[in-house]
Chains A and B, each alone.
Chain A
Amino acid sequence: MKLRVNAFWLCAVAIVAGGLVLTEVLHNDYYFNALYVILQGTLMAVAWNILGGFTGYVNFGSAGFFAVGAYTSIFLDKYFGHTLPLPVLIAAAAAVCALIGLGVGYLSLRLKGVYFSIATLAMAIVFATLISNWRYMGGARGAYILTPETFLWFHSYIQMLFMVMLLLTLGAVAISRNLNFSRLGRGLAAIRDDEVAAECAGVPTLRLKLISTTLMGALMGVAGAPYPFFVTFVDPASAFSLFVAVNAIAMPMIGGTAHWIGPVIGALLLGSAQQVITVTVSSEINVLLVGVMLVGFVTLAPQGIVGLAQKYFRRRPR
């Protein structure tokens, strides 16, 4: 176990170093744009999987958390006259979305299975409607965000955003991995497999579910916080986009929901494919692609890529 822990952290450090090297070596900002989007997708997928894959509660309202994170950023930035640094905005978004996550966790007390999922969708739409009607945030017409002047030692603002997202995503993956192998994670798995049996085996199901939803909410809020600075124009339609919500579900389901690495694999594969297709074919096809892949994997390979790999290795002669 010790060796595996070291391998992971070694990889993480290597990735960070690699990212820094890229910022020196690559001068075309387009690549950092693409990488940012892929990382954002990864972070959302990892977050979703904490509640969806580990705990077994399907969240249809991922776009809601993401958008609230983005709009928290916009609100604080505007309210404090562009003086707050990005880390503060991210922390605030995490806090707000953690609270919403907590609320969603209490929802799970009364609602199970599909009712819970529909309730999360409802919650996302309620937030979307509220924000669309809030003039201070630009309402339905959207809000413009000015790109800050400072980007530390990087060559451009997008490079800095890329590094920020890289660190955030690695952090989320580390949390997810830790959770997967911990006593807490095993409790969540018990809830997923049979909530009643888990409760009778001593698992404090409500408390664990609250931890799960709060953590998921916070991480999704974190994913959304830098988004306004990335796109510079945000409106409810783009922030609460169904595309974000479907990706958050499709990536873990394609990669495999039971293992922490599943959403990472799914996000890297699907995210990269989407970036390539946007450039070569059209961005609308992407959107169709997610749907087709989701349906395909869910019907043919419900355990995802990780599941397929496990089956393959089990069949090989020892």
Chain B
Amino acid sequence: MSAPVLTVGNLTKRFGGFVALQNVDVHVNAGERLGLIGPNGSGKTTLINCISGALFNDEGSIVFEGRDITRMPAHQRARLGVARSFQIPKPFRSMSVLENLRVPLEYAAWSRAEHRHITDEAMAVLEQMGLKERADENSAGLTQVDMRKLELARALAAKPRLLVSDEAMAGLSSSEVDEILEILLALNRRGVAVIMIEHIMRAVMRFSERVVVLDAGQKIAEGTPAEIVRNPQVERAYLGE
């Protein structure tokens, strides 16, 4: 059993007096599909903000592929292979869809990309995501679904070894959810570990090999989807007493 690609140890994050995360331990194995669930406000987004580097944790450590990245700025983590998509899409609004992908290719993936063929690489990702026809359209004018796809496409363009997908499917129709799911599964087949945060249970359960449950900043359960579904603590967290 190889070492985990990501190890979050004893992580604590406070906002003033409010403790958003407390002593959270999570690990992700190489090429694994991890689901991260929990009621609203349980700290899921805070956790991935700490993993991606958008926030710095107060206590604890984050180790990625054997390197301690706890104090590393976000852009360096991206270069090492940690990518994330945002819950509310944040496209580069002055740029076309294609240009949006140039940025991660030219920065996060710079050491892994073909410098002379950036456009071709970008087009390849767009093709994967089903956005090829929109390559030259301005990113600000996309539909909701396409914006979510662009968010993911941008994360993929960074050639990550760990991808965190933050509620990429929220508000999408059933067939659209399946589309995104297929894309993430295909990515995973290529060896990329994926942490999926979702509220759409059938997606999480179908996708994940293992699930971690957070509630009020603490990990309350961990196991296979089947185990989690049967866990009374999880039920209580979602449905109350």
Contacts and interface: CB of A to CB of B under 8 A. Distances in A.
Do A and B touch (CB < 8 Å)? Answer: yes
Contact of A196 (B83, B90, B91): B90
Contacts of B53: 199-200
Interface residues of A, number: 20
B107 A187 contact: yes
Interface stretch (A80-88, A201-209, A212-220): A201-209
A203 B93 contact: no
A126 interface: no
B84 A194 contact: no
A200 B49 CA distance: 10
Contacts of A258: 94
B222 interface: no
A190 B90 CA distance: 11
Interface in A152-200: 183, 186-187, 189-190, 192-194, 196-200
A258 B84 CA distance: 28
B212 interface: no
A219 to B, nearest CB: 23
Contacts of B83: 200
Contacts of A186: 99, 102-103, 106
Identify which of A198, A200, A203, A205 gathers the most chain B CB atoms within 10 Å of its CB.
A200
B158 interface: yes
Contact of A202 (B78, B91, B93, B94): B78
Interface string B10-30: 000000000000000000000
Dominant SS among interface residues on chain A:
helix
Interface residues of B, number: 29
Interface in B56-114: 73-76, 78-79, 83-84, 86, 90-95, 99, 102-104, 106-110
B78 A200 contact: yes
A10 to B, nearest CB: 27
Interface string B205-229: 0000000000000000000000000
B52 A187 contact: no
B94 A203 contact: no
A303 to B, nearest CB: 10
Interface string B161-172: 000000000000
Nearest to B85: A200
Contact of B79 (A192, A198, A202): A202
B107 A201 contact: yes
Contact of B108 (A194, A196, A201, A206): A201
A200 B154 CA distance: 10
A56 to B, nearest CB: 9
A193 B106 contact: no
A193 B95 CA distance: 9
A144 to B, nearest CB: 47
16 contacts: A186-B99, A186-B103, A189-B92, A190-B103, A193-B92, A194-B92, A196-B90, A197-B91, A199-B75, A200-B83, A202-B75, A202-B104, A202-B109, A204-B75, A204-B107, A206-B73
Interface of B: 52-54, 73-76, 78-79, 83-84, 86, 90-95, 99, 102-104, 106-110, 154, 158
Given A187-B107, A201-B103, A204-B75, 13 more contacts: A189-B92, A190-B95, A192-B94, A193-B93, A194-B90, A197-B154, A198-B92, A201-B107, A202-B78, A202-B107, A202-B108, A204-B76, A206-B73
